[in-house]
A and B are shown apart, each in its own frame.
Chain A
């Protein structure tokens, strides 16, 4: 429902022809439907401008007493035109459907593929709903109007040209009289469509704000009730509803002036034709049939002008949607295989070397080295219109998140990253996974720069388990199988057993076929973590990157999770952003990361032995706080201290 974003930007002052050209090129790539739309439009215009001529001939012929063959021929011709008309109508609608849906299909396909390639940095600043509306409403908007723009460009221009030509052919003088109405028609259309495009944007914007408001009213009804703000919310919604009413009425009023005004101008043309034409008929310079034809042409002129104005307004209104799609399709893929890597992949595919990965390198990661790595999040370019306004970071240069950091990870080593929030733990893990690339220094896999290896291969080596596990709205089995698509049922079942998830899965209706709901909402947080760990177990990656969850789960699930993590840490390099006591106790090596640097490095016991060490302090404060509390509680009296504040930790 985020149709609203294109409404934040002001209406573009003029059409960006270069931009629309690129969409036209996409339409040209669908030559069949494009030709169908154009042929339909041109055919309709021809038929419509011929019809009054035939009717005129009929009237004049009929005026000569008696039914004649010529009359039959004219009638037959008229019926043929009618048939042709129906066929053209069918042709252009059918072709418009193919063109529109084909454009939408390809735009979506390209946009989706692009999104699968863009670096994580791209997603950091763009909420899902914002990206989603690129694929849904923006694509629908641009591709939905494209056939009509193309159709009307053909139909309207040709219809006006042929109608004018027909009139000029009938009587040049009278034609000029009637054509006087064209400038006022054009001016009126331009005046009103611009204004109506603006009011309908306001309506859509208010409407989507109202939808968001109602959505929140439903989702947050308990909070709203608890805060006793029903009346305040009612006032706010009343304001929105009134705004909606105001803009809707204004838009309707513009339409109520615009459409009658156009037909009045058209009628004025007919009036001129009747008056001047009548005089001409009196002077026998014009036949009666021709006079009727003139009146019809005058009325006919209203529609193409009205339609052209409307398409112009459509383009103007849809321009920001088009810009956003273009921005997405052209967003730079900062992290991609280099040409050299792509060449090696081709070589390996053509002449496979045994025991080598797809890019010709070693098949499995054994050791990882970081050499003087520094990283900070990039400040987006000044002209980065391709990001929602709220997400733009401050103007100042962002600070370094990882600074001049070196690290050697030995084969099979398990590592826990600990330290304060914002210290750089997650970023460090993301750099190793090549979700981001460092600005300085390099990362080596078995001595080879990570940029010299294929991205797909690297992904196949990594198992990443997120803090908030994301599950697909599918069965538990399908979610686990996501870790290894080729896995047999037995392998999937085994992974569930190994992780300890099997026990709760067995209690679910349908067992492994239980569908977990959006994001896994039908499972508890702990259960989701277990499924996500099963997925990683099945994937059996060379390198595991695990962001432990902090949230509390019940004891039994906690034990199962511990067991699953235990199982995962074995036999591979593992890097854990650790929150669990049991995990830090179990890993080979703990890195205390603070302000982008490793300040302490060693096994638990060694770090605990550093008097006043940072890890030791953290450990005592965070992991072992419970001990202090219970010790305090045991010695405390029944009543709290007089100031009403109970100290949970004795002052140091």
Chain B
């Protein structure tokens, strides 16, 4: 579902069309639901009509069939005429029951059809949003706030769902009830009909205006709730700090303030509800009183029959109260279109462009190129900016990684190491320059082909909230593509197997919010296991073992080489121990390569690497001093640099 043309926010007129488009394929069901709604409304008047017919046609001793209201006359005919009905009153009861059952069937049809049509549309919308999201460029995620994004994907979708599944149906019900009653009322008494709708416009207007006015309170209350949650969350996350500084009382005060603010707004919201419902109930009751008074007047004047009066009383009661809800819904209608707009904004974001499948070799043969066990990587004058007006994150970076070679990237944070890896994974595209894998520009390959060639471990690896086994197996893309034995083997290489076994549920232990929390080192090792299982020709370790002690790191790296052989590897590291074992080191500074060479070569030249190494040298001298039994560390100034060439 790529949306190739990024559209501007849609004009208001097309908002309804957006909602309409959602119902694609479900419109017949929806139409049937509307039909059922009408049917239900019409059959709903069976009871008042029967009451009217019985009262006027049968029980009124002075009743004159010719003076009966149109609707009553038809009902009476339907029930077999005056004489028959008088002898068989149960027929009227059956009529009431049958119309009630028919109305019930229509209601069922409406409920079921509307729910299935809206739920199917919403499922498709959700799937579309999710798929689209996974194909959006990194730039999109850099400028979006994840909380806002999640809000859109959940509450906005729910708002649209509520609109399609409930509000439209509810509105349809209110209007159908009114529309079905209107001809019946008109056929009964014109004047009374007029009087019974007199307060309808103000009741509707009051609902719409009132909820527009108090909308702010809803927002404020949501915000207060958010602050309350944030306050509690912060306290719980930092509970050890709070305890450490004995700030429980201080924290309680702060929480109480947020709690109090929330209570106040909650109460204010209920206050608004209280005013709304009591005022609108009063208005409806006044409307009823008008019908009562006018009707009674008519009955005493003998211009209105008792049956007609009773019909009006029951009928108005039937449609008046839903009308009050209609106003409430009308006031909320804006929410659905706003929600739809916000979703459309996401949907019209341009997905990561890829060469069209026809422009590149078919998938089968591109896999063939991927089978090169250890490809050559070339970075050619690679430039990148995170935003058009930002300073370049990479500025003409060129270097080569030979097949099977391990190249380490070193540099201060912000020097562009991680950006380079993003570009290699085609999570971003260079603004200038090229990256070649075995001589092929990766820009000419589909992104997913490029990523299939790379196994990467990022500094703060992302683990999914699922079992440990799945988190490792996911290296194969789908968890069912890895056998348990393979998972276990990968975990052993990553030196995490024993830790996992110590958990009560072993590999089935869930990670994350609903399971256990892993330490940084454990997370990194799991991510390594995942990369081992992935077994791609290029290995990228972005500071991947920084939270693992050096001894374990060494064991893991050795085991990886034993298992997967010498793969073309890029390592980002701060640790000298990691850098030292690289074949070559690329020193980055502010997005530029300032030096390339073997560790040995770099130690011989002035520069960042040498400086790092000298700092380490001081450490070593202290160590030596310790071994020598307390000699003054400063007396051996050459110990570190002396090892250099």
Contacts and interface: CB of A to CB of B under 8 A. Distances in A.
Contacts of B297: 67
A272 B93 contact: yes
Given A626-B620, A629-B576, A648-B580, A218 B150 contact: yes
Given A485-B250, A645-B558, 5 more contacts: A65-B302, A108-B255, A395-B504, A519-B238, A626-B616
A252 B111 contact: yes
Interface in B78-137: 86, 89-90, 92-97, 99-101, 103-105, 107-112, 114-116, 119-120, 122-123, 126-127, 130-131, 133-136
B299 A278 contact: no
A295 B47 contact: yes
Contacts of A472: 234, 238
Interface stretch (A149-157, A568-576, A630-638): A630-638
Interface stretch (B189-197, B207-215, B328-336, B546-554): B546-554
Contact of A464 (B153, B244, B271, B543): B244
B487 to A, nearest CB: 15
A5 B515 CA distance: 12
A519 B119 CA distance: 39
A581 B111 contact: no
B59 A281 contact: yes
Nearest to A524: B413
Contact of B309 (A59, A225, A233, A518): A59
Interface in B272-322: 273-275, 277-279, 281-282, 285-286, 288-289, 292-293, 296-297, 299-300, 302, 306, 309-310, 313-314
26 contacts: A62-B300, A65-B302, A75-B293, A90-B277, A97-B267, A97-B270, A130-B513, A212-B465, A214-B154, A225-B425, A225-B427, A227-B534, A232-B477, A248-B119, A252-B165, A253-B115, A256-B111, A263-B103, A274-B50, A275-B93, A391-B515, A391-B516, A551-B520, A609-B629, A626-B616, A629-B576
Contact of A220 (B236, B278, B462, B478): B462
Contacts of A259: 107, 111
Contacts of A238: 127
A79 B292 CA distance: 10
A503 interface: no
Interface string A243-279: 0110011001101110111011001101110110011
A288 interface: yes
B108 A260 contact: yes
A483 interface: yes
Interface string B632-645: 00000000000111
Nearest to B583: A640
A22 to B, nearest CB: 21
B367 interface: no
Interface string A370-412: 0000000000000000001111111100000000000000000
Contacts of B274: 89-91, 93-94, 97
A89 B101 contact: no
B541 interface: no
Given A221-B133, A460-B246, A638-B600, A274 B108 contact: no
B281 A629 contact: no
A163 to B, nearest CB: 16
Contact of A260 (B105, B235, B289): B105
Interface string B241-278: 11111111011100110011011001101110111011
B94 A552 contact: no
A445 B574 CA distance: 42
B580 A93 contact: no
A404 B645 CA distance: 53
B80 to A, nearest CB: 14
Nearest to A279: B89
B281 A86 contact: yes
Nearest to B598: A638
Nearest to B251: A116
A86 B285 contact: yes
B228 A622 contact: no
Given A267-B100, A462-B244, A630-B580, A393 B504 contact: yes
A551 to B, nearest CB: 6
A87 B245 contact: no
B561 to A, nearest CB: 5
B220 interface: no
A97 B266 contact: yes
B509 interface: yes
Contacts of B95: 271
Could you tell me the dominant secondary structure of chain B's interface residues? helix
B58 interface: yes
B104 A261 contact: yes
Contacts of A253: 111-112, 115
A57 B94 CA distance: 27
Contacts of B551: 621-622, 625
A211 B150 contact: yes
Contact of A89 (B247, B278, B451): B278
Nearest to A83: B282
A226 B239 contact: no
A282 B230 CA distance: 70
Given A98-B267, A225-B427, A227-B475, A116 B252 contact: yes
A116 B275 CA distance: 39
B141 A463 contact: no
Contact of A633 (B105, B110, B296, B600): B600
A550 B547 contact: yes
B134 A233 contact: yes
A16 interface: no
Nearest to B448: A228
Interface string B148-164: 01100110000000000
B51 interface: yes
A255 to B, nearest CB: 6
A93 B270 contact: yes
Given A97-B271, A278-B92, A220 B126 contact: no
B60 to A, nearest CB: 8
Interface stretch (A121-129, A493-501, A593-601): A121-129
Nearest to A556: B412
Contact of A470 (B149, B241, B504): B241
Interface stretch (A131-139, A309-317, A436-444): A131-139
B517 A127 contact: yes
A113 interface: yes
Contact of A62 (B122, B309, B583): B309
Given A227-B534, A274-B51, A101 B267 contact: yes
B134 A128 contact: no
Nearest to A649: B554
Interface in B564-593: 565-566, 574-577, 580-581, 583
Most buried by A among B116, B130, B558: B130
A394 B504 contact: yes
Interface string B610-645: 011101110110111011011000000000000111
Contacts of B131: 230, 234
A485 B580 contact: no
Given A105-B259, A633-B599, A605 B293 contact: no
A109 B256 contact: yes
B340 interface: no
A241 interface: yes
B67 to A, nearest CB: 16
Contact of B456 (A4, A85, A226, A389): A226
Interface string A310-353: 00000000000000000000000000000000000000000000
A485 B249 CA distance: 11
A94 B97 contact: no
Contacts of B47: 267, 270-271, 295, 299
